[in-house]
Amino acid sequence: MRHIYNLFLYLILPFLPLGLLWKSRKNAAYRKRIAERFAYFDFPALESSIWIHAVSVGESIAAVPLIQDLIRDYPKTTIVVTTMTPTGAERIQKIFDGQVLQLYVPYDYPFAVKQLLRHINPKILILMETELWPNILYYSAQRSIPIILVNARLSDKSFANYKKISFFMQSILSCITSVAAQSKLDAERFLALGLDSKKIAITGNLKFDIKVSDDIFVQAKQLRLAWGKDRPIWIAASTHKAEEEKVLQAAKIVREVLPESILVLVPRHPPRFNEVFDLCREQGFEVIRYSEHQKCLTTTNVILGDVMGQLLLFYAASDIAFVGGSLVPWGGHNLLEPAALAKPIISGQNLNAFLEISQFLTDADALIKVDDAASLAQKLIQLFKDKTLQEKLGCAALDVVEKHRGVTKKILTSIKKLICV
């Protein structure tokens, strides 16, 4: 089966650079460092490394505490962090500022994978969540490199798709040394696909180990003063196409009751920043762009968060958080960032990507779910008028985060055992 997979890869090889150029229409970063995607590097081969692969922004953020601990515990070993998207690459580069070697992961061709492994010589391969690339796994195992899948999860869709090729998945999973699953359900799904039960442990979700620096609170206080210390401010974070319209509709209803209110709108994907800015203006909002350092006036009612890497700051400077990807069939986004800042959290009903986390928050009465723009506006108005309820919900959310911390330590223990093998 792997041979058929490789044949397909070689058939599409000529089109991959064209695909990158096509994507670069909206994000110029896709035109850069293309050679890395075929395992051609401009640095000398490493003696050894610890290789972590985090495909994009979400996985990169989740991996941060683990990477920080690996830097601390293995100061003489190069930490290589690969991503697939420019946004993930930018986040890693910004957070670690040269402490790690950030690369684009090569496409899963045998020649590229083997060249990468020769060049970085990993002691261990740490894969985030569900990065199951057949050749990366096969050739790493061939070199006796321990492979651990951490924060492992299988969504309904992924599980259904993998079940169709379960005979192939069993051979892929046999290459993995250890799996640290987010939940019991995830563990059961990996076992159903043929993973050896001796290889799996349920460690929890790394996202609970989120760290908020003191600088965030200092900067948030300054930002809040600039936006309006006493103005009601709410954030709609990681929103998607067709979701912004609902959010703006809710903002209009809120403004009828609270005319001084401000919406901080942060689209999930940077290529859509201009599109969402134009949408705000078309809807009649007085909108400013955060990236242009425009002054927030008394007439300003929307601030477009058109930058990367500042979401925690925006959450901290807001009173109430709506987490997007949940009023559209996407599956939601990370609810733990506002929770770690003790913010009251609102989301839509579509939370398939965060079922366990959303259930923890729901059980603790720390998450409000809404169906549409009208119910979103209603809950916002209720919370803005009831500071006691705001504080109660925020504290309950923070308690959930604190209760489930410690996942990084468990995973780090497993990694150290594998490195020593």
Whether residue 196 is found in the same domain as residue 119 = yes
Both 143 and 228 in a single domain? Answer: no
What pTM did the predictor assign?
Answer: 0.88
Q: Are residues 68 and 92 in the same domain?
A: yes
* Residues 228, 155 within the same domain: no
- The answer to whether residues 365 and 395 belong to one domain is yes
Give yes or no: residues 137 and 260 share one domain: no
Q: Give 196's pLDDT tier (boundaries 50, 70, 90).
A: very high
Q: Are residues 201 and 330 in the same domain?
A: no
Indicate if 191 and 313 belong to the same structural domain: no
Same domain, 165 and 259: no
The reported pLDDT for the residue numbered 281 is: 97
Q: What is the pLDDT of residue 199?
A: 96
* Residue 260 annotated to the active site: no
DSSP 146-180: -EEEEEE---HHHHHHHHTTHHHHHHHHTT-SEEE
Task: State the average pLDDT over residues 227-232.
Answer: 95
Evaluate if residue 351 carries a pLDDT over 60.
yes
279 and 335 within one domain: yes
The mean pLDDT of 265-282, rounded to a whole number, is 95
Catalytic residue among 36, 59, 243, 244: 59
Domain that holds residue 200: 2-205+406-420
Q: Does 131 have pLDDT greater than 90? A: no
What CATH number corresponds to the domain at position 298?
A: 3.40.50.2000
Contacts of 41 (CB under 8 A, 6+ apart): 35, 103, 119
Answer yes or no: do 8 and 103 share one domain: yes
**Distance separating alpha carbons of residues 353 and 366, to the nearest angstrom:** 18
Question: Is pLDDT of 265 > 60?
Answer: yes
- Which one-letter amino acid corresponds to residue 256? E
Find, among 58, 56, 376, 85, the residue nearest to 243 by Cα: 376
pLDDT computed for residue 321 by the predictor: 98
pLDDT of residue 353: 85
Write out pLDDT tens, residues 98-114. Answer: 999 999 999 999 999 99
Residue 309 confidence (pLDDT): 86
Mean pLDDT of 358-365: 96
Q: Does the pLDDT value for residue 421 go beyond 70?
A: no
> Quick count: other Cβ atoms within 10 Å of Cβ 324?
25
- Assess whether 219 and 157 both reside in one domain: no
Burial call 88-99: b when 16+ CB within 10 Å, e when fewer: bbbbbeebbeee
Confidence of residue 377 (pLDDT cuts 50, 70, 90): very high
Mean pLDDT of the chain: 94
Q: Total domain count for the chain?
A: 2
CATH number, domain with residue 31:
3.40.50.11720
- Asked whether the beta carbons of 76 and 147 are under 8 A apart, the reply is no
Tell me the average pLDDT across 386-409. 97
